[in-house]
Structure 1
Amino acid sequence: MPRQPHVTEVNGWKGLSQTSHIKQGEHRTEEFRKVNVLMKVPALKDGSFTLAESVAILLYLAQKFKTPDHWYPSDLQKRARVDEYLSWQHSNIRMKGSKLFLCKVKPLCLTNQPLPPEKLEFATEELNTALKQFEEKFLQDKPFIAGSEISLADLVAVVELMQPVCAGYDLFEERPKLKEWRRRVEEAVGKQLFQEAHEGIMNIKSLTADQLSPEVWQNRCV
């Protein structure tokens, strides 16, 4: 009997997350298509309501389940800071971090050889520019992006930044401000939960080409 995509149920909602067996293409089944016609993860089904896109899902869950205010603040200006970062990160931290991640992972899976340093340089410089903007514009001298407490903006940011770290580029090492911010985020969510959340991606370099999803090969790293 074929395995079904991993479905999580919490207080009446069902979520199909990136922990689903993407390697087996289970996000491309007709069952999954009923939840997300784009056939991508993450996706959420709450009764007859379905939702795609990670940021939209996070905001929906935070408001539906009335999570502690700091995650998505009721204060207008603090919430605007969260929204500002979530709007910016798609074409900056997320795009540049994923690009470097792919530049490091794909060649190892295909040829068991790393990409030549000169080809990695451009992707690394792009990410470094985005990291400088992140520190100067969004983090500044605050403990967290929206102020003194952790928010969804910090959660989304740290997940994206862990991609290149897990692929072998420790972007925190020479950035003390960023390193301290990560430490605060990790402590706020709990170290064990933080490690569990990144367990899969920490082992990414041990995967072979046939274990990665087709979407990975559709993205060029340079």
Structure 2
Amino acid sequence: MPEQIHHYHNGLSQPCRSILLLLKATNTPHVVKPVDIFKDEHKKPEFPHPFNNVPVMVQGDFVLTESVAIARYILNSGKAADHWYPTDPKKRARVDEFLSYHHGTIRKAGVQIAMKCVLIPMGSGKPCTKEDRKQVLEDFDKALEKFEGYFLKNGSCIAGDKVSIADVFAVSEILQAAMGGTDFLAGHPKTQALVDKVKAATPYFDEVFKPFNDFVKAHVK
């Protein structure tokens, strides 16, 4: 039996949430290693990630960085249901397509909301301007329209009608827009339906998202 995966985790990180949801949904033996990035715990000499980022997984003497690589490793080395990372080459290609695509689009737009609306104001003491908030929310809305128009045009999920790891990554990134303090899914019923499907497919969804949701309640005005 392989050793447990040690998952170095911070609840504000979209990729960390994706990996933890996957670990729990697939019943993969794991240990969560909390990392407080506000206390620079990811910068300590003993931290296993060579570039001081989260997530990182450690299994015995095997260290793996990059959330997409971690997700594929979990699914390739376990006995997860096929829908998470389909063996059908076209469905798998669609999953891989989104995982390659999302960094500079959905993820970038959500990160901009988090930075401009919450994290930079926290660090500087200066509130986000109305202009900045309006701009990042508009950019996110455009990214969501493109995502729906391509990846959800033929099914309720990215690779058809069953939830895959691509959908988990998508929803983790999309919900980061809650830091903008608006109903960002209004007018996007396809994305709302996808969020609901991922929640239904990952029983620990609320538990995994609780630290993020608590942070939003405390800091988003």
Query: When the two structures are superposed, what TM-score results if normalisation uses the length of structure 1?
Result: 0.81
CA RMSD of aligned residues (A): 2.0
Look up the match of 1:179. Answer: 192
Alpha-carbon distance in structure 2 between the residues aligned to 1:14 and 1:51: 10
Greater Rg over alpha carbons, structure: 1
For 1:201, the aligned partner's letter is F
Question: 1:145 touches 1:153 (CA, 8 Å); kept in 2?
Answer: yes
Look up the match of 1:100. Answer: 113
1:29 aligns with 2:60: no
Question: 2:109 touches 2:139 (CA, 8 Å); kept in 1?
Answer: yes
Higher RCO, 1 or 2 (CA under 8 Å, sep at least 6)? 2
Q: By how many angstroms is 1:82 displaced? A: 0.3
| Equivalent in 95, 98, 118 of residue 82 of structure 1 | 95
Q: By how many angstroms is 1:167 displaced? A: 4.2
Instruction: Flag structure 1 segments of 5+ consecutive residues without an equivalent.
Output: 1-9, 208-222
Instruction: Flag structure 2 segments of 5+ consecutive residues without an equivalent.
Output: 11-33
For 1:124-163, what aligned pairs fall within 5 Å after superposition?
124-163=137-176
Count of aligned pairs: 195
Secondary structure at 2:93 match in 1: helix
Alpha-carbon distance in structure 1 between the residues aligned to 2:182 and 2:124: 20
Change (3 A) 1:80 1:20: same
Alpha-carbon distance in structure 2 between the residues aligned to 1:78 and 1:114: 44
1:201 aligns with 2:212: yes
Look up the match of 1:20. Answer: 35
Secondary structure at 2:7 match in 1: strand
Question: 1:164 touches 1:170 (CA, 8 Å); kept in 2?
Answer: no
For 1:203, the aligned partner's letter is D
Secondary structure at 2:105 match in 1: helix
**Percent of paired sites with the same residue:** 33
Change (3 A) 1:16 1:120: same
